[in-house]
Amino acid sequence: MNYPDYRPRRMRRTENLRRMIRETRLAPEDFIYPLFVVPGSGVAKPISSLPGQFNFSVDKAVEAAQQAADLGIPAVILFGVPEKKDSVGSEAWKESGIVQKAIRAIKKARPELVVMADACFCEYTDHGHCGVIVDHNGTKEVDNDQTLPLLMKQAISFAAAGADFVAPSDMMDGRIGAIRTALDAAGRTDVQIMAYAAKYASAFYGPFRDAVGSAKTLSGDKRTYQMDPGNTDEALREVELDIAEGADMVMVKPGLPYLDVVQRVKETFGMPTFAYQVSGEYAMIKAAAQHGWLDGERAMLESLIAFKRAGADGVLTYFAPRVAEKLAKS
């Protein structure tokens, strides 16, 4: 194209001019706030590798969810850290489970808030993997088909507690179809599914594993069931399968290292597409800011605008309350 005498710098001279022509914007409704829920009362235990984030008891999780709602954030997603763990993660589907209690309490306090529940077993198992472990010819591995019925039980339990969304993050084959079938059979066609559709075997999950207590118990890695970081065509196949099985929203995880995947997913399918700015991404910005190596507030905003620019409809981020506060003042 030929733009004679076009001088873009003229439109960058003042803040108001820059605001007038800004192509991509952030708003509080772009965010989903992750919360970690633990047993007890009055608990707000700092997570050392996630500065500014906490393991909350249910009462404190309700307070955090209410604060998020007051800031205009439309949704929270809950991760449970049970007192007892076992080989199959049986606390995950109990009516008295920690996430189930939190769902009921948050929905009672703020019925309008969208409450999502992460469906997986890494927080609940004593081995830190996302499903049932079996011995296969002397090698321990996650058994896909034995895990599916347990995911179905977990999803039904979350729905019964009042969750608006179940968010399967396990990466088992066929889990979206299994969960959709289970929810429909239980008469819960109203409960939606946000699929962790393209979840990579990433090095950026470390602080999350500290938060849920699986860092010390996890043996080996998750590369046999989470995606290879070198693949993007495979991500499209995974997303397509999840949509065909009944996913209402799809997610790419992690976020910033996979913006190309976010863009391809959105352009290919046109589905509500979310990205998870995972614990390692958050922790790197916080640590660098604490050392004075970068401007933490600007880095926070710049990282989040990148998701929207790539095509994400929203972002799961631990920055959600802080950025919503900042946006309210701008």
Residue 301: its pLDDT value, please?
97
Kindly name the residue from 60, 85, 253, 308 that is annotated as catalytic. Answer: 253
| Residue of 186, 198, 172, 165 lying closest to 269 (CA atoms) | 198
Note if 45 is an active site residue.
Answer: no
d(CA 86, CA 91): 8
pLDDT the model gives residue 242? 98
Predicted confidence at residue 3, as pLDDT, reads: 67
pLDDT given at position 25? 94
Taking the mean position of all CA atoms in its chain, how far away is CA 53?
15
CA distance 272 to 249: 5
Q: Specify the pLDDT at position 210.
A: 93
Q: Indicate the helix (H) or strand (E) that contains 77.
A: strand 75-80
What are the structural domains, with CATH classification, of the chain?
25-252 (3.20.20.70)
- What contacts 57, CB < 8 A, 6 or more positions away? 37, 38, 39, 40, 41, 42, 43, 44
pLDDT per residue as tens, the chain (330 positions): 666 677 778 878 888 888 888 889 999 999 999 999 999 999 999 999 999 999 999 999 999 999 999 999 999 999 999 999 999 999 999 999 999 999 999 999 999 999 999 999 999 999 989 999 998 777 889 999 999 999 999 999 999 999 999 999 999 999 999 999 999 999 999 999 999 999 999 999 999 999 998 877 887 789 999 999 999 999 999 999 999 999 999 999 999 999 999 999 999 999 999 999 999 999 999 999 999 999 999 999 999 999 999 999 999 999 999 999 999 987
pLDDT at 215: 79
Nearest to 34 by CA among 107, 117, 129, 98: 117
At which residue do the structure tokens 């990148």 appear? 306
Closest CA to 210 of 3, 55, 25: 55
pTM of the shown model: 0.94
Q: How far apart, in whole angstroms, are the C-alpha atoms of residue 330 and residue 326? A: 6
Asked if 199 is an active-site residue, the reply is: yes
| Active-site residue, from 60, 85, 101, 199 | 199
**Cα–Cα dist 240/259, whole Å:** 18
**Can you read off the two tokens belonging to residue 75?**
């949704």
Nearest to 80 by CA among 42, 129, 46, 125: 125
CA proximity to 63, closest of 31, 87, 33, 22: 33
According to the model, what pLDDT value does residue 1 have?
62
Can you tell me the distance from the alpha carbon of 190 to that of 166, in angstroms, rounded to the nearest whole number?
11
pLDDT at 90: 95
278 and 319 Cβ atoms separated by less than 8 Å: no
